[in-house]
Copies of this chain bind each other. A is one copy, B any other.
Amino acid sequence: MRARDNHQANYCRGAKIHYLEELIHPRSVAIVGASANPTAKAYDYLKGMIEFDFPGSLYPINPKASEILGLKAFPSVRDVPGTIDYAISCIPAEAAPQLVEDCASKGAKVLQLYTAGFSETGAEEGRRLEEELVRRARRNGMRIIGPNCIGVHYPEGRLAFGRAKFSLDSGEVGCLVQSGGHAWTLLSQGSLRGIRFSKVFSFGNASDLNESDFLEYLAEDPKTRVITAYIEGVKSGQRFLEAIAKAAAAKPVIIVKGGKTEAGMRAVASHTGSLAGSDLIWDTILRQTGAIRVYNIDELIDTILPFVYFPPMKGHNVGIVGGGGGASVQAADDCETKGLIVPHLAPEIRQRLEEFTPLAGSSLRNPVDAVEIWSAQNFLHILEIIAAWDKIDFLLAHAIIELTAQWKGKSVLEGMIDSLLATKGRLTKPMAVILQSFGTPKGLAMLYDIQKRFVEARIPVYPTTARAANAISKFVAYHNRIAST
C-alpha cells in the first residue's frame, strides 16, 4: 500500500492525525523556478522527485520553458490545471510573497522555500520579506517550510529534496535539521553507515513551521523509532520545552545544538536568523528532559548506530578483541575514559583461550590482542568465548586495515573479516566493529567494501575505538536512565 493510501486509510478510520501528516502527502507538487540547467537546485528537486518515483503530479514552473525533464512546464503556478498541494520555491526572495498568493489560489497547503535572502541576511529588507511571507501564508491558511532550507526527504511518501546519492530506503530514524548541508551530510554519511530514515525535515529560518512542529510530529510518528535533531535556535521556548520533554519521554532524542560559543551563535544568526540561546540553558534542558546531547554530525551518526542495531542494554562491560598491543592499550583507555568498564578476564576464560593461543606476541587479558593467531576459525572462536562470558555485556572488535594486510597478509585480514561476519547469530552479545584505515587508496577502497558487508550483516562500524566507546556509553546511559524513571 502506498504511503498516501495509508494516510487516507488512517483518516477514514478517524484516527487523530498530526497536521504535518497531510502536508507531506501531497497529490501534486509544483517546483517554482524549475530549470533545465543541471547545476540549478530547482532542476535537482525535479530530477530528485522523478528519480524517487513520486506518485502524484509534478509541475515544473518556468515562464520561459514549455517542457523540463520530459514534463510539461507552466509559465506560472496559476497556469497549472487543477490543484497544487505542495509547492517548492527556488525563485528570488523578492518574488516569494506573491508566490504565496499564487499557490493559495491553487489550493496549496504548504510552500517550502529553498530561496534564501530573508531574515538570515541581517538586512531590514530580508526581515520584512520574511514577515510578509508568513503574513500572507497565514491569511491564506497555508504553511511555510523554511525559507532558506532544502525541505523534506520522506522515502515512504516519495518526497525528495534532490537527486540522492544516498539510500532511498525507508527506516526508523526521524530527523529535524535546521541546516540543509547537515541534512545532506547526515543522510549521505548515515546511509553508508547503515542508517535509514523515516522522515528528514530541513527547515532553515523556521519562519512558520518550526522545530517544535517537527519534533511533535516525529514524537507521534509510529514509523519513527529514534529522533535526531540539529537545532540552531527555538522560536518559542515554552512550546519547545514541552515538545522535547514529550519526545524524549516517548523515544530516544539525539540532538546537536549549533551555536554553543559566541562565534557559533553569531554564525547561527547569519545562517538561519536564529537566536542561539545560552548554552548552559540548553545543556540543562537537554539533561533534564533526557535528550542525548552530541556535538557534531559525526557523533550524531555514531550515536544513532547502537539505537538502531543493538538491543536495549544497561551494562557497561565490554570485551575487546583485536590486533596490536598499542591499539589494544588505546582501545582500553578509550573505553574506560568514556565510563565503560573493561573487566579483567577471568582465569577460566583465559585458560580456554590459552588452549589454542601462543603466549608470545599475544595478550590474553581484556583487551585480547590475538593478531598472532588471526584466522577465520580462531578469531571466531575467541569472540564466541568472550561473548559467552557472563561478565561481558557487549564486544568491540578492532583492526587497522593496512597494518593487518601489510604485517599479517591479506588473507589474515580477510579471515578476520569473514569471522566477524560469521558471528551473526552465533554471539549472545551485541558487537560493534572498529575499522581504521591509514588513508591509502587501497585501504580506503577496502574500508568502503568491508563496511558495506558489515552494514548488510547489521553490525555497526566505527572509525576509532574512541568514537565507538563514546556512542555506546551514551546508549548505555540512556537505557539506565529510562530504567530508573
With a cutoff of 8 Å between Cβ atoms, the chain B residues found around residue A402 in the complex are 165, 188
Interchain nearest-CB distance for A203 vs B (Å): 12
Contact B267 A365 (CB under 8 A): yes
Question: Is there contact, CB below 8 Å, between B261 and A336?
Answer: yes
Give the residues in chain B near A267, CB-CB below 8 Å: 325, 328-329, 331-333, 363, 365, 367, 369
Residues of B within 8 A of A363 (CB): 120, 267, 270-271
Q: Are B184 and A407 in contact (CB under 8 A)?
A: yes
Given A181-B324, A185-B400, A400-B181, the answer on whether A261 and B438 have CB atoms closer than 8 Å is no
Task: Return 22 A-B CB contacts under 8 Å, by A number.
Answer: A117-B359, A117-B361, A120-B325, A120-B363, A121-B360, A181-B325, A181-B327, A184-B403, A192-B440, A259-B329, A260-B337, A261-B332, A261-B335, A261-B337, A266-B365, A267-B332, A267-B363, A267-B369, A271-B328, A296-B330, A441-B448, A444-B444
A92 on the interface (CB 8 Å rule)?
A: yes
Residues of B near A95 (CB, < 8 A) are none
Which residues on B sit within 8 Å (CB–CB) of A341? Answer: 263
Residues 301-339 of chain A: 1 if any B CB is under 8 Å from the residue's CB, otherwise 0? 000000000000000000000011111111111111100
Write the chain B residue with the least CB distance to A323.
Answer: B181
- Greatest chain B CB density within 10 A among A331, A337, A369, A439 is at A439
Contact A179–B360 (Cβ < 8 Å): no
* Cβ–Cβ contact B438 & A445, under 8 A: no
Q: Which residues of B contact A193 (CB under 8 A)?
A: 439
Chain B residues with Cβ under 8 A from A120's Cβ?
325, 363
Q: How far is the CB of A164 from chain B (nearest CB, A)?
A: 9
Tell whether A264 is near chain B: CB-to-CB under 8 Å.
yes
Majority DSSP secondary structure for residues of A touching B: helix
Instruction: Give the Cβ gap from A428 to chain B, nearest Cβ, in Å.
Output: 22
Query: What are the residues of chain B within 8 A of A330 when measuring CB–CB?
Result: 258, 264, 296-297
Q: Which B residue's beta carbon lies closest to that of A402?
A: B188
A222-269 interface (Cβ within 8 A of B):
230, 232, 258-264, 266-268
* A464 CB within 8 Å of chain B: yes
A244 to B28, CA, bound (A): 71
A116: interface (CB < 8 Å): yes
Are B181's CB and A263's CB within 8 A?
Answer: no
Write out the residue numbers on chain B whose beta carbons fall within 8 Å of the beta carbon of A332. 259, 261, 263-264, 266-267
Contacts of A451 in B (CB 8 A): 439
Chain A, range 431-463, C-beta contacts under 8 Å to B:
438-441, 444-445, 448, 451
Nearest neighbor of A271 in chain B, beta-carbon distance: B325
Whether B298 pairs with A464 at a CB distance below 8 angstroms is yes
A365 contacts which of B162, B270, B336 (Cβ < 8 Å)?
A: B270
A259, A270, A336 interface centre (most CB from chain B within 10 Å): A270
Pairwise interchain contact B369-A185, C-beta atoms closer than 8 A: no
How many residues from A make CB contacts under 8 Å with B? 90
B333 lies within 8 A of A260 (CB): yes
Please name the residue on chain B nearest to A114 by beta carbon.
B361
Q: Which residues of B contact A342 (CB under 8 A)?
A: 261, 263, 266
| Residues in A155-194 with C-beta less than 8 Å from chain B | 162-163, 165, 177-182, 184-185, 188-189, 192-193
- A126 touches B (CB below 8 Å): yes
Q: Is A39 an interface residue (CB 8 A)?
A: yes
Assess the B296–A466 pair: CB atoms within 8 A: yes
Which residues of chain A in 94-147 are interfacial with respect to chain B, using CB atoms and an 8 Å cutoff? Answer: 115-117, 120-121, 123, 126
Alpha-carbon separation in the docked complex, A441 to B344 (Å):
40
Q: Is A409 an interface residue (CB 8 A)?
A: yes
* Contact status A403-B268, CB under 8 Å: no
> Is B400 a contact partner of A438 (Cβ separation < 8 A)?
no
Candidates B297, B407, B439; contact of A189 at CB < 8 Å? B439
In the assembled complex, A485 has its CB within 8 A of some CB on chain B? no
Q: Is A408's CB within 8 Å of the partner chain B?
A: yes
- Whether the Cβ atoms of A329 and B192 lie closer than 8 Å is no
A406 CB within 8 Å of chain B: yes
The answer, yes or no, to whether A93 is at the interface (CB within 8 Å) is: yes
16 more A-B residue pairs beyond the given contacts A264-B329, A264-B333, with a C-beta to C-beta distance below 8 A:
A39-B409, A44-B407, A92-B360, A121-B360, A181-B323, A188-B402, A192-B440, A230-B326, A261-B333, A261-B335, A261-B342, A263-B333, A263-B336, A266-B342, A296-B464, A296-B466
- Name A39's closest neighbour in chain B (CB-CB): B409
**Is A198 an interface position by the 8 A CB rule?**
no
Closest to A330 in B: B296
Docked CA distance A402–B406 (Å) = 30
